[in-house]
Structure 1
Amino acid sequence: MQDFDFDERDLRLLHALQVRPRAPWTALAPVVGADAVTLARRWNVLQDRGLAWMTSYKGSGARFVGAIIDVTCAPSMMSAVIQGLVRDREVVSVDQTAGARDLILTVFCSTDAELSTFLLDRIPAVEGITSTRTHRVTRMITDARKWRLRSLATDEVRALERAVPLPTPRASAVSAEVEKDLAGILLMDGRTSVADLARLLRISPTRAKTALANVLGSQRVVVRLELARTSSPWPVCVWYFLSAPASKVDLVAASLAGLNEARLVVTTGGTHSIAMAVWLRGVEDMAVLERQLGEQLPYVEIADRSIVLRTPKHMGKRLDTDGRRIIQEI
């Protein structure tokens, strides 16, 4: 049961962290409207309660292949299937849904061969899964790093962007071993300080700072803020599967990426042209959104939709039944 609501200062802090996830508290303070000590303390409270956290994942600068997978399960085996899937490192998200499928998996693999192994060998071996349908991602149009809480004014966002420039790659190369270890640390906590990175990686702070700038600046690793959706002003998540004429898929996908509600838009090589996940203020807003799509994109067919009932795992983090992060890692 939900027993917490973010107040306006929380939402301002979280919006600022969406813009610059690793910004120092001193840089965030004038934008959010509270001193650095207060912001750090509040962030710790939100983290400890599992209401907000940082995560990381492979970005456009890294080699990976993705898929959205529909899963149907035997009802008596649902819990066991979910527990097995949330432990799988290549399954980054698990959504339990109402609709034509029981689960929607978001899967990232390093290569096509690894994805094929996952689909052809590992998934069929999971007892309780009765059928699957794969939507192979062909292009990532937008993801939740661009989704905003809309609690800061435009001029406040621009001020923060000026105060904290985006990281840029540096000339020094990063070894594969250091990059792998760095990515693992950022997955646990995307705000890990340079000093702590150096200690954990057993390298100098200068090398740690350079490695961090390289992996973030090249988008081989992306750090982003996440929050407990069910405690936010947008507690409803819906997956949409859309079909569009081949000549208009790119245009449609770009238009969908501009929606305030869109958290993920990908083109796929599956049954449908596009898959999209949105966050809404209520289920009644589905009708509003779908009417808007019909008016603006009349040649697009909403082929299917599923409302998310529960999210046991989201972007590498395990969540409880209230959608809060479980602090103990899987």
Structure 2
Amino acid sequence: MTSPNQDSLRRDADLRLIHALQLEPRASWTELGRALATDPVALARRWARITEEGLAWISGQRRHFPAVAVVEIECVQGKAAETAFLLADEEIVRTIDHTSGGRDLVAVVAGPDLESLSAFVIDRLGDQRLITHARTHLVTEILVEGSIWRLNALSDEEARRVPAAKAPRPRAARQVPADLQEVVIRALYRDGRTPAGDIAAKAGVSTQRVADAIATMRHSGDLVLRTDVARSYTGWPINAWYFVQVPASSIDRLRSTLSRLAEVRLAVTTASRYNLLMTLWVRDLADVNRFEALLEKVLAGARIADRAVVIRPAVHSGRLLDARGFVTGLSTLHDDPA
């Protein structure tokens, strides 16, 4: 058994590595070793343990989903867990939270077009006999997204030593074929640190071509790599959703204002009765109310119409989560059987 002090030291070291990987998910262990003044082999072993325990994970995703919505779902009494389990197998579903308040679940869904999103909301949800009601909020703009959230476990100097993502080579092709894009995204979705050589073997192309494709797609914004961490491991264990009505004249100020609030994980404007939806992480339940007061202060005229505390996470970016928010696996249709 380890002592509380040893557990604290291990957690601090874990969070420092996770923060570094938030800054550059594909930095080499040698580069990270220099940034953190730690043996690269020790860092690789640490990351292997972190991922094995489900504490953190790196995934590659398309940045641009043309159709995104937040859906509030009410379920037949006692059927919320079963409903979440069934919805986790829908490829369009990105996140599912069990919540308090006037809904049982809050889901974030994203598809290639409005037709696919509407088919899910109208046909698939409408066909679920476990669901009694669903309210859909179409996202019009993403103001803050989870991929830019940082742990702030490193000093400013250490963070500056973490290398930036590699720019495309001058000789690299400027366009990546759609079939190669698909192979790259599927591989990096499962593990954002998958070596280019492994992807190349699967795609039947050279390692250099895959490395060029990754660099080009990241540079163009077609691919975003994000490092996520179990909320309960961060010191910010409480997750809450806010449904806010903001004067239209204040929308332009939201981008800079919300990005300065460390608690905000996701903020979107919507075409619904609430024109701003947010999810944030705070340190304790009392902070839920404190943040409301802060938000109404920094956003003149804002009114928080409703709020919901996440009582258990179920799915995040296609990862199945346990009650602590630790990863237990990939949902079926997000997995790649090949």
Q: TM above 0.5, one fold?
A: yes
> Structure 2: 5+ residue runs without aligned partners?
333-338
Indicate yes or no: 2:326 matched with 1:324. yes
Distance 1:283 1:63, change over 3 A: closer
Distance 1:125 1:23 in 2: 45
Alignment CA distance shift 1:232-1:250 (3 Å): same
Amino acid aligned to 2:134: T
In 1: Cα distance, 2:85 partner to 2:244 partner: 30
| Alignment correspondent of 1:51 | 55
Shift of 1:214: 1.9
1:200 positional shift: 1.9
The Cα shift of 1:298 comes to 3.2
Structure 1 CA distance for aligned equivalents of residues 274 and 168 of structure 2: 37
State how far apart, in whole Å, the 1-side matches of 2:132 and 2:148 are: 35
Give the TM-score, by structure 1 length. Answer: 0.93
Partner residue of 1:26 out of 27, 30, 54: 30
Q: Which residue number corresponds to residue 250 of structure 1?
A: 252
Q: Secondary structure at the match of 1:124?
A: coil
Residues 90-149 of structure 1, C-alpha deviations (whole Å, 9 max, x = no match)? 001100100111100000100011111111111101121000111111001111111111
Provide the residue aligned with 2:335 in structure 1.
Answer: none
SS state of the match for residue 213, structure 1? Answer: helix
Judge conservation of contact 1:81–1:127 (CA < 8 Å) in 2.
no
Alignment of 1:38 onto 2:42 = yes
Moved over 4 A (4+): 3-6
Residues 145-186 of structure 1 show CA distances to partners (whole Å, capped at 9, x for unaligned) of: 1111111122222222xx334544843422111111211111
What's the offset of the Cα at 1:63? 4.8
Partner of 1:227: 229
Q: Equivalents in 2 of 1:314, 1:63: separation in Å?
A: 16
> Which of the numbers 10, 14, 18 marks the counterpart of 1:14?
18
How much does 1:198 deviate? 0.9
- Measured in 2, the distance between the counterparts of 1:108 and 1:70 equals 14
CA RMSD across the alignment: 1.8
- Answering whether residue 112 of structure 2 is matched by residue 106 of structure 1, we say no
1:132 to 126, 131, 134: 134
Report 1:133-172 matches (<5 A): 133-160=135-162, 163-168=163-168, 170-172=172-174
Distance 2:296 2:214 in 1: 44
Q: Which residue of 1 aligns with 2:202?
A: 200
The TM-score with structure 2 as length reference comes to 0.91
Structure 1 301/216 Cα, relative in aligned 2: closer, same or farther at 3 Å? same
Identify the residue that residue 336 of structure 2 maps to in structure 1: none
- Corresponding letter in the other structure for 2:101: G
Quote how far apart the aligned CAs of 1:228 are.
1.2
Provide the rounded CA distance (Å) in 2 between the counterparts of 1:267 and 1:236: 23
Change (3 A) 1:17 1:246: same
Amino acid at match of 2:77: P
- Among 260, 263, 281, which residue is 2:262 paired with? 260
CA distance in 2 between partners of 1:328 and 1:156 (Å): 32
Paired residues of 2:80 and 2:98 also in contact (CA < 8 A):
no
Candidates 209, 215, 218, aligned match of 2:217: 215
**What is the CA-CA distance between 1:69 and the residue it aligns to?**
0.4
| Structure 2 partner of 1:236 | 238
